[in-house]
Amino acid sequence: MFTDVVVIGGGPAGLTAAIYLARFHLGVTVIDRGGGRANSIPRTRNHSGFPDGITGADLVERMRTQAVNYGAINEIGEATAIERDGDGFVVWAAGSGYRCCAVLLATGAANNRPEMDLNDHDAALSRGLLRYCPICDGFEVTDQRVAVIGTGEHGSREANFLRSYTADVTLIAPSGPHDLNADQRQTLRDAGVDIVDGPCVNIEIGDDDIVLEVPSGRRHFATAYPALGSRIHSDLAKPLGVEMSDDGCMVVDRHQRTDIPGLYAAGDVVFGLDQISHAMGEGGVAATTIRNDLAERRPIRREARGQSPD
């Protein structure tokens, strides 16, 4: 099967790119394994244009419908490999090969979760007892009692960020004593953040709170933010020798090009602000770059429409 562009990933970045590419009259196939971070958002209230908020799954479905309406092909499955094919590529998924001129990787990232039952985790997430993005929903915890499960630079930075929403923030180490240097501890103390050593175990959902058990006892909070980092889904690109950052993000230029001609990346798989709006912007930039780069290789011209006989 041949198409102009294969987009790997059906989240905000990939689907925005697919909408643009389809409207550029290019053939585009989106390969989506499902389960992206955007789909798990119970309701986003800082995404422009939705004053009452919108669920992540609903937003993604609207974008998918829009892409398909303009001619994009949506394939459900997991891409397993990308191979060079002359000056193009073959993307392998579900035993099928998709030949194309360009590939956009919009495979995103996954949050590292605290140790707790999966059903309890998802229930806590849906009720706002567990949250992952203070930039997205810190406003919703204004003046509430908040825990941050984390330590080190990442945990201390998130706890300090949340202090702009509430005076009651506790930083709890996930697996033992905190790994904080003297400057981090002093900054947290100056901010009034309570520092509690772990391990943090037996996370339970209460009637209207979340309960974290630590060596000093059980602590009750309105919301807990796991600050445990994330896993970047960039493995497909590594065999091609793509330049990566130290944390596994794909390195791109300001037009979303990698250092492999014809291979592009956008969204959370690229280092930057992990926000829906940012991912969508990168998707639009990547799609426009792909269109213009392909036009330099071969003219993209619309044929004249034939006239119907009288």
Q: Residue 280 in contact with residue 13, Cβ under 8 Å?
A: yes
Residue 306's pLDDT is 64
Structure tokens at 220: 């009750």
Structure tokens at 302: 């619309």
Could you name the CATH architecture of 113-226? 3-Layer(bba) Sandwich (3.50)
Domains 2-110+230-297 and 113-226 share a fold: yes
Residue 35's pLDDT is 85
Residue 308's pLDDT is 52
**Closest Cα to residue 136, out of 299, 268, 251, 306?**
268
Structure tokens at 46: 């800082």
**CATH, domain 2-110+230-297, list 3.50.50.60, 3.30.1360.70, 3.40.50.300, 3.40.50.2000:** 3.50.50.60
Residue 235's pLDDT is 96
pLDDT, tens digit (0-9, with 9 covering 90-100), for 124-142: 999 999 999 999 999 999 9
3-state secondary structure of 292: helix
Burial 37-55 (b: 16+ CB within 10 A, else e): bbbbbbbbebbeeeeebbb
148 φ, ψ to 5°?
-115, 120
Residue 81's pLDDT is 97
H/E segment holding residue 224: strand 223-226
Distance between CA atoms of residues 72 and 186, nearest Å: 53
Ordered by start, the domain boundaries in the chain are 2-110+230-297, 113-226
Distance between CA atoms of residues 37 and 134, nearest Å: 15
Q: Mean pLDDT, the chain, as a whole number?
A: 95
Q: Which residues of the chain fall below pLDDT 70?
A: 306-310
Residue 130's pLDDT is 97
Rg of the chain, C-alpha, whole Å: 22
pLDDT, tens digit (0-9, with 9 covering 90-100), for 138-173: 999 999 999 999 999 999 999 999 999 999 999 999
DSSP 8-state assignment for residue 270: B
Residue 103's pLDDT is 98
